[in-house]
């Protein structure tokens, strides 16, 4: 069907795409394609008859952050490498050109916490968390990939008891620069862009201090992007402050709805949609992605669009489940899904290269949709056309004003040096109704036999075409992964890992606090290797972190379960720990999590509560508990009743449980105190 949509002939609505041969030799500015694909490049305005100039096509970006790749590292081979290939391998899948990562700051950042490289003032460890691993895997597949870092939260010691990272600007700048230096020293990773504070207030003097410290460390090449929030007030601040204008390289805004503001354009800086998408990765999410990839540039002059997030590799019931370019949330089974946004990305990333330019002749189609054209200045040309309908391209934010897309015929004319092009490769996607759906299908080549250099495309709604001189595109594939399976109903972890590949235990997803593998050098016995909660003060938060630390695990559908875990309270007097079942919330909603929480405290008491905050108290009493001793806790939940044991002896029983009906298992501490956990076991068989 789609093969018949293309004809080489003159038709209505001529859109001239002209390239002066003399301009083709101009040096290309470096172009960074993002690990979060978007379709953008600096654009000032055009009319169909205007002559074409080239504009730097900065980046197409995809990013992984906010603890959204937590489960990916736990995947067994070969499935983990296959997932990474779909994301980063050139000319295979999404072929991402930039990876934006979170600089772990120990705080909740949407779907979990990511550990900092400096939990405490005198602490440095550049092997915590999975971001180092993810960046190296991306580089392994594409050595030219651009890397970007942005903090969401910061460790508490930087705030000196204030929830504010700018109390000591030099100290915070040192902390960020240390992360950049550590990336190079320990992982041979060159960070290209650094942000300020995700979606929170910026401090003008801090940005200046950061630039000076980067330069002092010989990191002049690291560029600053600000402020990863709204276009204002950062744009106006730059216009009023010459030094600020000089030190900021890129203005980044989040979820701009394909539009910028006048002040941002007046700065003449690169404009990026530095976070976008965050939409369910079904056909509508793919339509959202296809539309904004083109229109962020066409409408808003944005030369980069960063999609949150790169891969949905976190428990689906956490906030914004399946809002990644693909889904990989079952490391226990190996199952993953290459979702439609991967192939929407490929329409742009596989047919452009760092250093390409947008042509000035881009714009909207007469009956809905948009088109852009890019060139390497050496004769290659890529044209991307989208006709996403309003119904099938709504992003999660912002509100999308109504528009109409209908059947149309569009004619394009190649002039100047492009008139010598004889053949264009054609790649096609059809979204909308499942019965009509195609994803990244290669059609027959388009031969330009007409001496006028024109060709015509018949367009229906919810389509995406890429027409290109490049012949390297491909739709990569692997054998189907294993079938989807629920989390194992019987699960055990003794944490006996002497040299862990990763600092956190498999499948545990920290929601407040940080739980890491730990070796007790003074305990040669059963508890030599444990899992330890390692924060001793509340971080500078981005979200509403809970007052108690917590790490969740398992199947959200679990109802009846028995959880057993050895626990060790390190803080005398005020320390406390818990195990829990049917935990019903996580991520940015963790403060309001309900469930059945079984607590013991160093002061010799126990408590049973129906929520993490401890407001719903079901039972209290005395227990033979103190700090610096190991105890075994057992929590049994069956139907509407629950019971708890301490060291195998019944401590409380027949506590009613009416809500919630299901949820994860969990461990945690009463406050930000050190504590250890060992020999975790859950039995959730029906």
State the pLDDT confidence band at 55, using cuts at 50, 70 and 90. very low
| Residue labelled with tokens 């990562």 | 101
Q: What is the pLDDT of residues 333-374, one digit of tens each?
A: 999 999 999 999 999 999 988 778 889 889 999 999 999 999
What is residue 466's three-state secondary structure?
strand
Nearest residue to 633 (alpha-carbon basis) of 685, 571, 679: 679
| Mean pLDDT of the 217-228 span | 98
d(CA 282, CA 476): 20
| Those residues with Cβ within 8 angstroms of residue 451's Cβ, 6 or more apart along the chain or in another chain | none
Global pTM value: 0.92
* Residue in the block written with tokens 């020999």: 679
The pLDDT of residue 17 is above 60: no
pLDDT at 436: 79
In the predicted model, is pLDDT for residue 34 greater than 70?
no
CA distance 246 to 249: 7
Which of 12-21, 254-263, 498-507 has the lowest average pLDDT?
12-21
Confidence of residue 35 (pLDDT cuts 50, 70, 90): very low
Tokens for 137? 């895997």
% of the chain surpassing 70 pLDDT: 90
Measured CA to CA, the distance from residue 236 to residue 233 in angstroms comes to 5
Phi, psi of 478 (to 5 degrees): -130, 165
3-state secondary structure of 442: strand
The whole-number pLDDT of residue 304 equals: 87
Task: Answer whether residue 163 shows pLDDT above 80.
Answer: yes
pLDDT for 57 beyond 90: no
The rounded distance, in Å, linking the Cα atoms of 162 and 164 is: 5
Mean pLDDT of 146-160: 96
Question: pLDDT value at position 22?
Answer: 28
Q: Of the given ranges (21-35, 610-624, 654-668), which has the lowest mean pLDDT? A: 21-35
- CA 667 to chain CA centroid, Å, is 26
Confidence of residue 51 (pLDDT cuts 50, 70, 90): very low
CB-CB contact of 592 with 585 (8 Å): yes
Residue-wise pLDDT for 116-129, tens only, equals 999 999 999 999 99
Helices (H), 75-203: 79-88, 131-141, 169-187
Q: Is the pLDDT of residue 54 over 80?
A: no
pLDDT, tens digit (0-9, with 9 covering 90-100), for 275-313: 999 999 999 999 999 999 999 999 998 988 889 999 999
Catalytic residue, candidates 275, 330, 339, 516: 275
For residues 147 and 150, give the distance between their C-alpha atoms in angstroms, rounded to a whole number.
Answer: 10
d(CA 102, CA 38): 19
Q: What is the largest CA-CA distance in the chain?
A: 92
Beta carbons of 133 and 64 less than 8 angstroms apart: no
65 versus 379: which is more confidently predicted? Answer: 379
> Which residue bears the tokens 């890429």?
466
Q: How far, in Å, CA of 684 to CA of 556, rounded?
A: 11
How far is the C-alpha of 526 from the C-alpha of 500, rounded, in Å? 18
**Per-residue tokens: 369:** 């949709």
The answer to whether residue 19 scores a pLDDT higher than 50 is: no
Burial of 84 (0-12, 13-18, 19+ CB in 10 A): buried
Asked about 629 being catalytic, the answer comes back as no
Which run of H or of E encompasses 585? none
Q: Is the per-residue pLDDT at 181 higher than 80? A: yes
Q: What is the 3-state secondary structure of 406-430?
A: CCEEEEEEEEEHHHHCCEEEEEEEE
Q: How far apart are CA 66 and CA 103, in angstroms?
A: 9
Whole-number Cα distances in Å, 350 to 148, 208, 422, 685: 21, 37, 20, 46
Please, are residues 6 and 261 in contact by the beta-carbon 8 Å criterion?
A: no
Q: Which residue has better confidence, 16 or 151?
A: 151
Integer Cα distance of 52 and 18 in angstroms: 5
- What local confidence, expressed as pLDDT, does residue 66 receive? 53
Closest CA to 292 of 369, 226, 219, 239: 369
Question: Rounded mean pLDDT of 555-563?
Answer: 98
> Which candidate, 553, 581, 686, 557, places its Cα nearest to that of 643?
581
Assess whether pLDDT exceeds 50 at residue 47.
Answer: no
Q: What pLDDT sits at residue 2?
A: 52
Cα 347 to Cα 596: distance, rounded to the nearest angstrom: 48
- pLDDT, one tens digit per residue, over 433-478 is 877 789 999 999 999 987 788 999 999 999 999 999 999 999 999 9
Q: In DSSP terms, which residues pair with 102 in a beta bridge?
A: 150
199 is catalytic: yes
| Whole-number pLDDT of residue 572 | 95
Q: Look over the chain and give the mean of its residue pLDDT values, rounded to a whole number.
A: 90
Contact by Cβ (8 Å): 659, 589? no
Mean pLDDT computed over 177-206: 98
The rounded percent of the chain whose pLDDT value lies above 90 is: 84
CA atoms within 13 A of residue 235's CA, in its CB half-sphere:
20
């Amino acid at each position: 069907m789609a093969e018949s949509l293309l004809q080489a002939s003159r038709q209505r609505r001529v859109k001239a795409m002209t390239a002066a041969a003399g301009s083709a030799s101009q040096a290309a500015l470096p172009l960074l394609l993002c690990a979060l694909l978007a379709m953008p490049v600096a654009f000032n305005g055009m009319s169909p008859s205007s002559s074409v100039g080239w504009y730097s096509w900065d980046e197409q970006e995809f990013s992984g952050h906010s603890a959204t790749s937590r489960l990916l590292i736990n995947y067994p081979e070969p499935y983990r490498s296959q997932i990474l290939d779909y994301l980063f391998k050139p000319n295979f899948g999404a072929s991402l050109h930039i990876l934006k990562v979170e600089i772990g700051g120990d705080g909740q950042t949407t779907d979990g916490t990511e550990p900092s490289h400096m939990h405490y003032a005198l602490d440095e460890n550049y092997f915590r968390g999975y971001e180092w691993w993810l960046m190296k895997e991306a580089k392994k597949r594409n050595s030219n990939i651009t890397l970007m870092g942005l903090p969401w939260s910061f460790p508490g010691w930087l705030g000196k008891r204030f929830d504010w990272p700018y109390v000591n600007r030099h100290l915070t700048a040192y902390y960020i620069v240390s992360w950049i230096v550590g990336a190079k020293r320990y992982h041979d990773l060159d960070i290209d862009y650094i942000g300020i504070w995700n979606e929170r207030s910026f401090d003008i003097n801090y940005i200046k201090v950061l630039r000076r410290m980067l330069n002092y460390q010989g990191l002049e090449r690291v560029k600053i992007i600000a402020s990863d929030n709204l276009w204002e007030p950062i744009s106006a601040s730059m216009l009023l402050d010459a030094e600020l204008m000089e030190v900021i390289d890129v203005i980044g805004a989040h979820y701009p709805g394909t539009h910028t503001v006048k002040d941002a354009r007046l700065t003449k800086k690169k404009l990026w949609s530095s976070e976008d998408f965050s939409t369910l990765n079904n056909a509508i999410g793919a339509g959202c992605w296809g539309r904004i990839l083109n229109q962020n540039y066409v409408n808003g002059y944005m030369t980069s669009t960063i999609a949150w997030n790169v891969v949905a590799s976190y428990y689906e019931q956490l906030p914004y489940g399946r809002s990644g370019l693909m889904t990989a949330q079952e490391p226990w089974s190996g199952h993953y899904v290459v979702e439609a946004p991967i192939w929407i990305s490929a329409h742009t990333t596989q047919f452009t290269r760092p250093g390409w330019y947008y042509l000035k002749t881009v714009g909207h189609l007469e009956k809905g949709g948009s088109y852009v054209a890019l060139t390497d200045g050496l004769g290659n040309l890529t044209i991307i056309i989208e006709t996403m309908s309003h119904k099938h391209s709504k992003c999660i934010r912002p509100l999308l004003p109504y528009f109409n897309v209908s059947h149309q015929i569009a004619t394009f004319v190649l002039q100047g040096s492009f008139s010598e092009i004889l053949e264009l490769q054609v790649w096609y996607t059809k979204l909308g109704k499942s019965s009509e759906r195609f994803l990244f299908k290669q059609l027959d080549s388009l031969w330009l036999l007409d001496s006028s250099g024109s060709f015509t495309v018949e367009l229906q709604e919810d389509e995406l075409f890429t027409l290109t001189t490049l012949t390297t595109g491909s739709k990569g594939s692997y054998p189907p992964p294993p079938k989807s399976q629920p989390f194992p109903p019987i699960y055990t972890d003794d944490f006996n890992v002497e040299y862990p590949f990763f600092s956190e235990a498999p499948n545990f997803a920290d929601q407040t606090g940080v739980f890491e593998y730990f070796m007790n050098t003074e305990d040669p016995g059963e508890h030599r290797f444990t899992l330890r909660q390692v924060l001793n003060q509340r971080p500078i938060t981005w979200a509403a972190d809970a007052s108690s630390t917590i790490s969740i695990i398992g199947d959200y559908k679990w109802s009846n379960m028995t959880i057993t875990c050895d626990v060790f309270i390190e803080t005398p007097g005020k320390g406390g720990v818990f195990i829990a079942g049917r935990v019903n919330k996580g991520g940015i909603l963790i403060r309001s999590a309900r469930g059945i929480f079984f607590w013991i405290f160093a002061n010799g008491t126990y408590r049973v509560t129906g929520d993490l905050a401890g407001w719903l108290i079901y039972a209290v009493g005395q227990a033979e508990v103190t700090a610096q001793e190991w105890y075994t806790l057992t929590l049994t939940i069956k139907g509407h009743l629950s019971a708890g044991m301490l060291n195998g002896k019944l401590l409380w029983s027949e506590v009613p449980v009416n809500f919630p009906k299901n949820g994860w298992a969990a461990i945690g501490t009463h406050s930000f105190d050190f504590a250890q956990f060992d020999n975790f076991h859950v039995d959730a068989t029906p």
